[in-house]
Structure 1
Amino acid sequence: MLFGIAWDTSSGWAFAISILPILLRGLVVTIQATVVGFFIALVVGLVWAALKAAPLRIVSWPAAIVTEFLRDTPLLIQLFFLYYVLPEYGIVLPAFMTGALALGLQYSAYTSEVYRAGIEAVPRGQHEAARALNLKGMRTFTHIVLPQAVPRIIPAMGNYLVSIMKDVPLLSVVTVLEMLNVARIIGDRTFNYLIPLSMVGGIYLIMTLIASAGVRFLDMRLPKRGIPLK
């Protein structure tokens, strides 16, 4: 029994039905970690992209070094650092937020490159037209460049969304009860790993298919042409 839920191990189907509620609780944690981590990756990645595009090297170089570090070091090391090292300096975060932050920071290094590619794909004529209309640099970036870059990077961002979702099980090392960790605990207590792990694999397959379909829908719906300047 886990979280007050009894498991019927008399048959395969009965066992699967009895553990489904607790797996769904783990699924909620998995989805929450995916959403929070992806949101952090999107926001911080855009910040890294803007800093690396800055004309001043004193701004662009540190951002490039940090993103390279995040990209070239394992997620587990970053996760352990946030969870075990930061408390030594008085910074204590809940296990869930630690995991989501680690996911977001790791993938922000990748999304920053996606943003960069999307921004560079915007025709230079759009920048020149904005300057001709005397638009400030920030307004040009937020109202002209970014709206045209985002539709171009939807497929790549969708791939990272799926990747973050599949990396959530790593959060089990800092005691986050996401879906795979719950399945492992069920297996430890019932000595039946096949059914819970198979169910988790099936649920992950369904989630990735739904996420991929959503990304394709957005990719087809969002316009990719330049926007007229008025």
Structure 2
Amino acid sequence: MLFGLHWDTSHGELAFAVSILPMLLIGMWVTIEASILGFFVAMVIGLGLAVLKGARLRIVRWPAMFVTEFIRDTPLLVQLFFLYYVLPDYGIVLPAFLTGALALGIQYSAYMSEVYRAGIEAVDHGQIEAAKALDLPGRRTFTHIVLPQAVPRVVPALGNYMVSIMKDVPVLSVVTVLEMLNVAKIIGDQTFDYLVPLSMVGGLYMILTLIASGIVRWVDVKLPKRGLALR
């Protein structure tokens, strides 16, 4: 029994699939929310790490490089357990969903920082020198010259990580997040029929990844290759 419901598997697999679909869709919505929040966190932290790793001062650059390597070389599950079980010992208690989304974002921020760095380094250095010659502030040079040209270059790679984040959401089930796969597992535990719910989860994941990939391709086509126009 899940959410106060009971499923009768005696009327065939099709009827069983129809009866569990609403619960799986609720789990799918949790999956989508965790993916979007985790992706947003990864984009923000990843950009910050990329900027810090590009700093001229070693005292700024080296710690950022160390943090990036530490995050990238540490399993997602370890980071998730640390946030969920260790932080409460220091008075930081977060809901399971938020903890999971943060863990996803932190894990993928290390990878996205390298994507950002590659996009930033691909911008013609002569334009940066020209901005300096015009006495533009460094922050304005970055936000109005470098970043608008770097973003279109990195959209496909960022989109791939969005899909990867979505496929890693089932890891959050270990901290009781009722995402799609966890819901399917609970249904299987209660009905002793795992084939139908797990097959449906696989199909729903395929639909989600195809939609996400299509959105990324659309954004990539629509973005101007010469950079974003900012006023």
TM-score interval for Structure 1 and Structure 2 normalised by the shorter chain: over 0.9
Moved segments of 4+, more than 3 Å: 226-230
Question: When the two structures are aligned, how many residues end up with a matched partner?
Answer: 230
Contact 1:33 1:168 (C-alpha < 8 Å) held by counterparts:
yes
Within 1, Cα distance between the matches of 2:167 and 2:150?
A: 26
Contact 1:52 1:59 (C-alpha < 8 Å) held by counterparts:
yes
Q: What amino acid does structure 1 have at the position aligned with 2:137?
A: K
Aligned to 2:5: 5
Secondary structure of 2:119's counterpart equals: helix
> What is the identity percentage for the equivalent residue pairs of Structure 1 and Structure 2?
74
CA deviation after TM superposition for structure 1 residue 202, in Å: 0.3
Q: How does 1:1-230 map to 2 (within 5 A)?
A: 1-9=1-9, 10-225=11-226
Q: What amino acid does structure 1 have at the position aligned with 2:31?
A: T
CA distance change for structure 1 residues 177 and 226 in 2, over 3 Å: closer, same or farther? closer
Query: For residues 32-78 of structure 1, what are the alpha-carbon distances to aligned partners after superposition, in whole Å with 9 as ceiling and x for unaligned?
Result: 10000000000000000111111111111111101100000100000
Q: TM-score, normalised by structure 1?
A: 0.97
Aligned-pair RMSD on alpha carbons?
Answer: 1.5
CA deviation after TM superposition for structure 1 residue 5, in Å: 2.9
Contact 1:148 1:227 (C-alpha < 8 Å) held by counterparts:
yes
Query: For residues 176-220 of structure 1, what are the alpha-carbon distances to aligned partners after superposition, in whole Å with 9 as ceiling and x for unaligned?
Result: 000000000000000000000000000000000011111111111
CA deviation after TM superposition for structure 1 residue 4, in Å: 2.6
CA deviation after TM superposition for structure 1 residue 228, in Å: 8.6
Secondary structure of 2:147's counterpart equals: helix
Higher mean Cα deviation, 155-164 or 128-137? 128-137
CA deviation after TM superposition for structure 1 residue 224, in Å: 1.5
Give unpaired runs (5+ residues) of structure 2. none
Contact 2:151 2:227 (C-alpha < 8 Å) held by counterparts:
no
Q: TM-score, normalised by structure 2?
A: 0.96
Contact 2:181 2:201 (C-alpha < 8 Å) held by counterparts:
yes
